[in-house]
């Protein structure tokens, strides 16, 4: 009988670790890493034997309609070569006992979780969810977790206990999130380390049973919200509120500092690994003759990294971590703001991975995919829905209130409706998405009836976005509107549909 699944959340607490305990932790992590690599190698070997077996190949040729027979044959192929989570756990125990020192450093529960981790990594290759696995180096193996909170790595009496090793936490008494996690039941514990300012910092993650702490200002209301996801911003229209919010608003990108550090790293790398590069050569640049650097030799594997190079690389990583942390924080505020106005989200079915091929740097800086996934997760956890519809069938950016479709270029950010309405393109698309039916059709009648009520709200959202853009400095001028997007309330009535009807009359 399968175990019942209960909701979980994670509480992260920093630990007080002295030099003696840290050396012991590093030794245990080294043992965990070597055991993981051994299990991963064995799992990949068994997986390849399964894929090459006659039973597996015969099962692949069967039609999908015979799914029960296919599943039975796939299971037989796995049993034939002992490719299962349980068999790999037995292998991990055998390796640990033969090596002796791994068995001294790691308890049996930790050995089993490491084997399960390696097995799941190999399964992703089998199911086509990944192209390759990664064997862990010493600086990439950063977490170890227990199987339960009863033995092995566990949380007991306000301490992290791992065998004879006991670590005290650093608890912020004024943090309600930490207190909520400490007062909730603990399923199991994860120990991890992070590099912060060039130093190793240790943390414990309590995987708690229940729902996470919800701040009073981050409530979720009932209602329908229409979304229009873009590369750099997101428009939403709720029952009584609308907005056009930029991703990673006013987040420093540290681009000049990172570029300077990258050039320093490149100079150091060329100076210490001259054999890995082609010799410099003379080239003509117009009428001048300049010296160009030789290209990197393919197949070079031995690289010497100086202490200066490692320090520079650490500074670059720290800047990138700060940028990512700021971006995540600002984007989480956007998610909470949208959910305050409704828990039923309607949005176009867009592929952020497809955008990465064309707008790679912008996607990396703004992270629209993170906002999309967080909205889906939080809306569903709050009892709502995240509904997507086809962009080809609806074509909201081209649709007018009378039902006609007129194409416009991506640079045209203002929607000028044939009915006389002038509205920001993204806000208008978000408004229309509220009235998409289950069969991916637009209910024009509902949209026409609701527009007069929401028109003032949509105008205020556009005006607020424009005001925010004007406050941005010249360095972030890409966020501002062009002259075509400027609007003026003078001479305009709140209800533009009423104006059109008067003219037609």
What SS3 string covers 112-135? HHHHHHHHHHHHHHHCCCCCCCCC
Q: Considering the domain boundaries, does residue 36 fall inside one?
A: yes
Q: Which residue has the tokens 């992703």?
A: 124
Q: Is residue 261 part of a domain?
A: no
234 and 121 co-located in one domain:
no
Residues 342 and 196 grouped into a single domain: no
In the chain, the N- to C-terminal Cα span, in Å, equals 72
Q: What is the rounded average pLDDT of the residues 212-233?
A: 91
Confidence band, pLDDT 50/70/90 cuts, at residue 4:
low
**Where a domain ends, among 155, 174, 209?**
209
Residue 170: CB atoms within 10 Å: 10
β-sheet with 165-169: strand ranges across? 143-145, 186-196, 199-209, 8-16, 165-169, 159-162, 153-156
According to DSSP, the residues that pair with 285 across neighbouring strands are: 288
Confidence band (pLDDT; 50, 70, 90) for 157? very high
**Rounded CA gap, 44 and 57, in Å?**
18
| SS3 per-residue string spanning 283-304 | EEECCEEEEECCCECCCCCCCC
Q: Would residue 310 count as lying in a domain?
A: no
Least confident of 17-31, 38-52, 241-255: 241-255
Contact between residue 371 and residue 334 where contact means Cβ atoms under 8 Å apart: yes
Residues 179 and 231 in one domain: no
89 and 141: one domain?
A: yes
Does residue 257 belong to any structural domain of this protein? no
Nearest-angstrom CA–CA distance, 366 and 267: 30
Domain identity same for 389 and 423 = yes
> Using an 8 Å Cβ cutoff, are 207 and 186 in contact?
yes
- Say if 368 falls within a structural domain: yes
Asked if 386 and 455 sit in the same domain, the reply is yes
Look at residue 401 and give its three-state secondary structure: coil
Q: Are 61 and 29 members of one domain?
A: yes
Strand segments, DSSP code E, in 197-329 are 199-209, 224-229, 233-237, 242-246, 281-285, 288-292
pLDDT for the residue 482: 43
Per-residue confidence (pLDDT) for residue 173, from 0 to 100: 86
Per residue in 476-498, pLDDT tens?
444 444 434 444 444 344 444 44
Position 286 confidence tier, pLDDT thresholds 50, 70, 90: confident
- Do both 205 and 228 map to the same domain? no
Residue 504: pLDDT above 50?
no
What domain count does the chain have? 2
Which of these three, 150, 181, 209, is where a domain ends?
A: 209
Whether the per-residue pLDDT at 464 is higher than 50: the answer is: yes
What would the mean pLDDT of 271-285 be, rounded to a whole number? 87
Domain check: are 70 and 191 in the same one? yes
Average pLDDT of the chain, as a whole number: 88
Residue showing tokens 């040729």:
61
Residue 301: its pLDDT value, please? 73
Question: 3-class DSSP state for residue 415?
Answer: strand
User: In this predicted structure, what is the pLDDT of residue 485?
Assistant: 46
Whether 17 and 53 map to the same domain: the answer is: yes
pLDDT above 70 covers a percentage of the chain that reads: 92
Structural contact between residues 493 and 499, judged by C-beta atoms closer than 8 angstroms: yes
Q: What is the pLDDT of residue 3?
A: 62
One domain, residues 326 and 415: yes
**Does the predicted TM-score (pTM) go above 0.85?**
no
For 235, the domain range is: 224-252+318-504
Domain stops at, among 146, 174, 209: 209
Using 50, 70 and 90 to split pLDDT, how confident is the model at 474?
very low
Is the pLDDT at 161 greater than 60? The verdict is yes
pLDDT tens for each residue of 165-207: 999 999 998 999 999 999 999 999 999 999 988 889 999 999 9
Q: Where are the beta strands (DSSP E) in 355-454?
A: 385-389, 414-416, 422-424
Strongest mean pLDDT among 270-279, 466-475, 478-487: 270-279
Asked if residue 237 and residue 168 are part of one domain, the reply reads: no
Whether residue 439 is predicted with pLDDT greater than 80 in this model: the reply is yes
Q: How far, in whole angstroms, is CA 43 from its chain's centroid? A: 28
Instruction: Look at residue 70 and give its three-state secondary structure.
Output: helix
- Residue at 159 is within a domain: yes
- Domain-embedded: residue 56: yes
280 within a domain of the structure (yes/no) = no
14 pLDDT exceeds 60?
Answer: yes
């Amino acid at each position: 009988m399968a175990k019942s699944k209960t909701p979980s959340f994670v509480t992260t607490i920093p630990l007080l670790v002295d030099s003696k305990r840290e050396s012991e932790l590093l030794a245990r992590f080294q043992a965990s890493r070597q055991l993981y690599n051994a299990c991963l190698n064995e799992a990949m070997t068994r997986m390849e034997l399964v894929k090459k077996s006659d039973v597996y190949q015969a099962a692949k040729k069967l039609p999908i309609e015979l799914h029960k027979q296919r599943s039975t044959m796939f299971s037989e192929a796995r049993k034939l070569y002992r490719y299962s989570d349980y068999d790999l756990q037995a292998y991990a125990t055998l390796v640990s006992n033969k090596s002796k020192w791994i068995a001294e450093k790691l308890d049996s529960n930790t050995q089993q979780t490491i084997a399960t981790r390696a097995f799941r990594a190999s399964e992703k290759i089998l199911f086509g969810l990944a192209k390759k696995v990664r064997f862990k180096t010493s600086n990439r193996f950063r977490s170890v977790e227990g199987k339960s909170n009863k033995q092995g790595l566990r949380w007991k009496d306000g301490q992290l206990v791992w065998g004879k090793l006991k670590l005290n936490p650093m608890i912020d008494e004024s943090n309600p999130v930490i207190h909520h996690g400490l007062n909730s039941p603990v399923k199991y514990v994860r120990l991890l380390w992070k590099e912060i300012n060039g130093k190793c910092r240790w943390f414990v993650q309590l995987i708690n049973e229940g729902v996470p702490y919800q701040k009073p200002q981050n409530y979720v209301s009932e209602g329908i919200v229409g979304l229009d996801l873009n590369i750099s911003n997101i428009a939403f229209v709720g029952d009584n509120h609308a907005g056009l919010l930029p991703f990673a608003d006013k987040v420093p990108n540290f681009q000049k500092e990172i570029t300077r550090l990258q050039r320093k790293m490149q100079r150091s790398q060329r100076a210490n690994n001259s054999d890995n590069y082609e010799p410099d050569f003379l080239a003509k640049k117009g009428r001048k003759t300049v010296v160009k650097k030789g290209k990197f030799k393919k197949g070079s594997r031995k690289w010497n990294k100086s202490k200066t190079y490692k320090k520079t690389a650490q500074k670059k990583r720290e800047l990138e971590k700060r940028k990512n942390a700021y971006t995540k924080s600002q984007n989480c505020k956007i998610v909470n703001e949208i959910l305050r106005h409704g828990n039923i989200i309607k949005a176009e079915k867009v592929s952020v991975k497809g955008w990465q091929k064309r707008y790679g740097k912008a996607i990396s800086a703004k992270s629209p995919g993170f906002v999309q996934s967080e909205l889906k997760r939080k809306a569903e956890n709050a009892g709502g829905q995240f509904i997507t519809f086809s962009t080809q069938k609806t074509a909201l950016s081209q649709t007018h209130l009378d039902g006609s479709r007129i194409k416009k270029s991506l640079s045209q950010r203002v929607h000028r409706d044939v009915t006389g309405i002038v509205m920001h393109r993204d806000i208008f698309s978000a408004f229309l998405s509220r009235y998409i039916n289950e069969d991916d059709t637009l209910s024009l009648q509902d949209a026409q009836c609701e527009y007069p009520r929401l028109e003032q709200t949509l105008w205020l959202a556009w005006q607020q976005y424009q005001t925010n853009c004007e406050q941005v400095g010249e360095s972030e001028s890409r966020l501002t509107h062009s002259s075509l997007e400027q609007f003026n309330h003078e001479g305009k009535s709140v209800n533009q549909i009423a104006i059109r009807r008067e003219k037609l009359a």
